[in-house]
Amino acid sequence: MKRTTKISSAVIKRLPRYRRYLYELKRKGVEKISSKEFSEIIGYTASQIRQDLNNFGGFGQQGYGYSVEGLYNEISGILGLDKDYKMVLVGAGNLGTAIANYIASYKGGFEMCAAFDVKENLIGKKMNGYEILDNEDLVDYVEENKIDIGIICVNKENAQAVADRLTFAGVKGIWNFAPLDLEVPERVAVENVHLSDSLHSLAYHIKDIEKANSKKTK
Amino acid sequence: MKRTTKISSAVIKRLPRYRRYLYELKRKGVEKISSKEFSEIIGYTASQIRQDLNNFGGFGQQGYGYSVEGLYNEISGILGLDKDYKMVLVGAGNLGTAIANYIASYKGGFEMCAAFDVKENLIGKKMNGYEILDNEDLVDYVEENKIDIGIICVNKENAQAVADRLTFAGVKGIWNFAPLDLEVPERVAVENVHLSDSLHSLAYHIKDIEKANSKKTK
């Protein structure tokens, strides 16, 4: 299938959401869906949906709708979810444990291989069935096991140093939970989960709704 | 100060990041910064920065730059971070505990008041110094203590029911970590942290970089 060379980042950001809804539809046994029906459950307009999906050559047929399974598989492929990824996690505190649990329960191609920490009271303990290893051995482990993704769950002060070592050891991507923007070479993909940014957006929206309501009652 | 009535959501999304960098500059004792200097550290273009900040009436002076503290305070105000927010958390597992730790360490106006769970082995135990309460008491607690924000750390199957009860009890906002899009009335703000969407974006970017590299070497 021919694809346009450059898809806008806004479309890319919406793809995981399309996939999530398609997964639910698939699970419920739905086989076909029109852009109008899809629009009602996902909350984008039907024209937005058609436009987004046309970026990939279009999978729908006029008057027939989209094949739920076909579209799900196609989007999975576009997202790179038809491959397997080996992961390590650095920082085995509460957040690290939560993320490791999340990956363990995730049904898909993401496999957690090991966790690392600097704290002596954690090293050697078990987390989700595998041992927590000494941070000193991170680079060797990543190289030897051809790890694809490093997950950073350490604090802000140590995150860049961990990123440097993961990058040196050859990971392809970093999933970063530390509250800073990492500097890495172009060959390494970074995806951030910045909790504070998300919390501040929430505060903004609360304020915005209150402002709108106070105007209405005036 | 006059403000335009409607600020685009793209600008709003960038504000927490501006604030985060301004906080670091403030901490380092920097008092003034030009849009060019700011551009170099934050990674947006100088013209993007000027355009974004002009939305709020503009705080810079030609040839003088922005006041770091002034801009930080102004953005904090716009984001609603000059107020205090009382929070409860529902779902006291690993992720819930991680988020509670995060809020406890957060220096700002967010106060965690209580955690709730349905599991009998968790109810009555301590988490970050306060007792984990019975989920049955959620609505009464939120009403009596005038809680502003509910944090949802339960699984996908129970998340909507928790959101319904938080909404009924009168929260203004929900910080949702469950992997689904909640249905709530317009008066309630929702901010999602969808881990799977973030992970899938990472997979896409890894694939995208690999594709670009394989083209280069051909």
ipTM metric:
0.85
Query: How close does chain B come to A185, measured CA to CA in Å?
Result: 11
Would you state the pLDDT for residue A163?
Answer: 98
> Which residues of chain B lie closer than 8 angstroms to A85, CB-CB?
203, 206
Query: How close does chain A come to B201, measured CA to CA in Å?
Result: 7
> Which residues of chain A lie closer than 8 angstroms to B83, CB-CB?
203, 207
- % of chain B exceeding 70 in pLDDT: 93
Contacts of B144 (CB under 8 A, 6+ apart): none
Helix, coil or strand: residue A116: strand
Which residues in B102-160 belong to E strands, given as ranges? 110-117, 126-127, 130-134, 149-152
Are A80 and B204 a contacting pair at CB < 8 A? yes
Tell me which amino acid residue B18 is.
Answer: Y
Q: Rounded CA gap, B151 and B174, in Å?
A: 6
Q: Which pair of structure tokens corresponds to residue B104?
A: 């406890």
Q: Which regions of chain A are under pLDDT 70?
A: 1-6, 57-63, 217-218
Would you state the pLDDT for residue A2?
Answer: 41
Flag whether the pTM goes above 0.90. Answer: no
pLDDT grade, residue B21 (50/70/90)?
very high
Would you state the pLDDT for residue A218?
Answer: 61
Size of the A and B interface in Cβ pairs below 8 Å: 170
Give me the residue from B20, B43, B200 closest to A196, CB to CB: B20
> Which residues of chain B lie closer than 8 angstroms to A172, CB-CB?
206, 209-210
Give me the residue from B79, B173, B195 closest to A102, CB to CB: B195
Are B200 and A81 a contacting pair at CB < 8 A? yes
Q: Rounded CA gap, B170 and B31, in Å?
A: 41
Are A206 and B181 a contacting pair at CB < 8 A? no
For residue A204, give the H/E element and its range.
Answer: helix A195-217
Sign of the CA dihedral with A94 first, then A100, A106, and A108 last: positive
Q: Rounded CA gap, B133 and B102, in Å?
A: 19
Query: How close does chain A come to B31, measured CA to CA in Å?
Result: 21
Would you state the pLDDT for residue B87?
Answer: 96
Q: Which pair of structure tokens corresponds to residue B199?
A: 């992970």
Can you tell me which residue has the tokens 């819930």? Answer: B96
Q: In the predicted model, what is the mean pLDDT of residues B12-25?
A: 90
Q: Rounded CA gap, B21 and B129, in Å?
A: 31
- % of chain A exceeding 70 in pLDDT: 93
Would you state the pLDDT for residue B61?
Answer: 63
Please provide residue B110's backbone torsions phi and psi, each rounded to the nearest 5 degrees.
-105, 120
Contacts of A154 (CB under 8 A, 6+ apart): A90, A91, A162, A178
Chain B, window 13-52: residues with a beta carbon less than 8 angstroms from a chain A beta carbon: 13, 15-17, 19-20, 43
Q: Rounded CA gap, B87 and B109, in Å?
A: 10
Q: Rounded CA gap, A172 and B202, in Å?
A: 10
Would you state the pLDDT for residue A131?
Answer: 85
Longest CA–CA span in chain A (Å) reads 67
Q: Is the pLDDT of residue B99 over 80?
A: yes
Chain B, window 134-173: residues with a beta carbon less than 8 angstroms from a chain A beta carbon: 148-149, 172-173
pLDDT grade, residue B101 (50/70/90)?
confident
Would you state the pLDDT for residue B62?
Answer: 62
A207 shares contact with chain B (CB less than 8 Å): yes
Q: Which residues of B124-157 are buried (b: 16+ CB within 10 A; e: fewer)?
A: eeebbeeebbbbeebeebbeeeebbbbbbbbeee
Q: Is the pLDDT of residue B59 over 80?
A: no
- % of chain B exceeding 90 in pLDDT: 55
Would you state the pLDDT for residue B185?
Answer: 96
Would you state the pLDDT for residue B4?
Answer: 42
> Which residues of chain B lie closer than 8 angstroms to A199, CB-CB?
106, 110, 175, 191
Would you state the pLDDT for residue A59?
Answer: 61
For residue A17, give the H/E element and its range.
Answer: helix A9-27
pLDDT grade, residue B130 (50/70/90)?
confident
Would you state the pLDDT for residue A149?
Answer: 98
Contacts of A149 (CB under 8 A, 6+ apart): A85, A86, A87, A88, A110, A171, A172, A173, A174, A175, B202, B206
